[in-house]
Amino acid sequence: MRVRIQYDKGTLLIWGDTRVPNSHWDARSGAYRALALHYADVIDYLENSHIEYVDEALKLLPVPHLQLRTVLRDYQRDALDSWMEAGKRGTVVLPTGAGKTVVAVGAIGKLQIPALVVVPTLDLMEQWRRVLATEFELEVGAYGGGDNVLSPLTVATYDSAYLRAAELGNRFGLVIFDEVHHLPAAGYRHIAEMFLSPARLGLTATYEREDGLHSELLRLIGGKVYELTVQDLADEHLSGYEVAYRSVDLEPDEAEEYSRCYAVFTNYLARRNVTLRTPHDFATFIRRSSWDPEARKALLARNRALDIALNSRAKMEVLKELLLEHPSEQTIIFTQHNKLVHRIARTFLIPAITHTTFKDERRQILTSFHDGEYRMIVTSKVLDEGVDVPDASQAIILSGTGSSREFIQRLGRVLRKREGKLARLTEIVTRDTTETGMSHRRKRRWRAAENAP
């Protein structure tokens, strides 16, 4: 008896007497059922077992000939070759500014099959649409921001791809996940599970997640197949750079309040024998604060202490010095909280971009920054990724998290190649506070790459 395979809302139905790997019997359907993710494995199993089958699952959109115009750099070709050799599955890790998009364009041109690109933001969706439309001279579809246009080359936000996975999951032979570190999140991973696309390409500058969920990528799209660091490409393909560090002290009143608040936090941990070594430990502490009044008091005290450290008044003086030392640099100032963004914007009359900035205003600010009308902009976390930021030559970090990803992304904002121009990143950190440890943690991957042989 021949086996028949059908696609059913994000899953595969396998009709026949043969049970294939990763499937289970579905009594309601009278067939075996598997996640669409396992489509390629199902086909391989049937062919290797010499079992006849009828494939009614894959309904690819018709695609015209896709003429590749871009010439890939040597390392981009190496990345594409490594992905092909890995069975057209896996993640390519390249620094910001190194041309991850070009690798994806090369994959589309090489495979000549319909492709879906999944991105985290509407800004990136529009950026990808422009790139693909220019490269292949065809209309590019979109799902997100009110658009619902299906084309052989389509770009969708993670949110829209998740909502439409059951509908779109059998229409594309290649799915590309930009900023793929978002994919293992509890909801988004269902996109990869419900698409049967045999070819899967992940792109990111920062593969590892603080919660360790990047290990899920091996199952969802394949593991890491190619990686280059900032250090590998600096000077030749990316700008040379230097990273500097400035320390400041809390003002006396700030230091007093910081010590008082931090003591409330640490005393609670000591009394209750609570250790906070991992993100899981901290998440458990957060949950405890929802029912334990003392834990909530300790959490609020800890947050207030951190707020004092991240937003210390002395940082403004050092920022002023840096801006005067390098007045001609195109500068992006990064902070953790919007409160400090607005204080800097008011003090130095610098345009600010936060999550509340309207899209048209943000575009106008970035365009003026690109044209040199603005030499400086200040932002919180919205420019870390997912936005096409014009070239800058100096980044100043006044505050941030302990995330290595955040540090690498911010460094990447100043690394686009400029002949004879050295990129500069400066951290301003409050001495003798928890911010010192956060600064050390966020640079650990960068330090490891710097010291690698």
Q: Is residue 246 helix, strand or coil?
A: strand
Radius of gyration, alpha carbons of the chain: 25
For the sheet with 53-56, list strands across it: 24-26, 31-35, 11-15, 3-8, 53-56
- CA–CA gap between residue 122 and residue 321 (Å, rounded): 36
- CA–CA gap between residue 171 and residue 359 (Å, rounded): 31
Measured in whole angstroms, the distance separating CA 203 from the mean position of its chain's CA atoms is: 9
- CA–CA gap between residue 434 and residue 447 (Å, rounded): 20
pLDDT of amino acid 357 = 84
**Which parts of the chain register pLDDT below 70?**
1, 383-390, 402, 415, 417-420, 445-453
Closest residue by Cα to residue 427 from 406, 449, 452: 406
Give the pTM: 0.86
pLDDT of amino acid 407 = 80
Q: Which residues pair with 238 in a beta bridge?
A: 234, 416
Answer for the pair 136, 66: CB distance below 8 angstroms, yes or no.
yes
pLDDT of amino acid 453 = 46
pLDDT of amino acid 417 = 63
pLDDT of amino acid 240 = 78
pLDDT of amino acid 280 = 83
Q: Which domains does the chain have, with CATH numbers?
A: 3-56 (3.40.1170.30), 74-228 (3.40.50.300), 241-249+313-451 (3.40.50.300), 252-310 (no CATH)
Q: Each residue of 1-19: pLDDT tens digit?
A: 589 999 999 999 999 888 8
pLDDT of amino acid 438 = 82
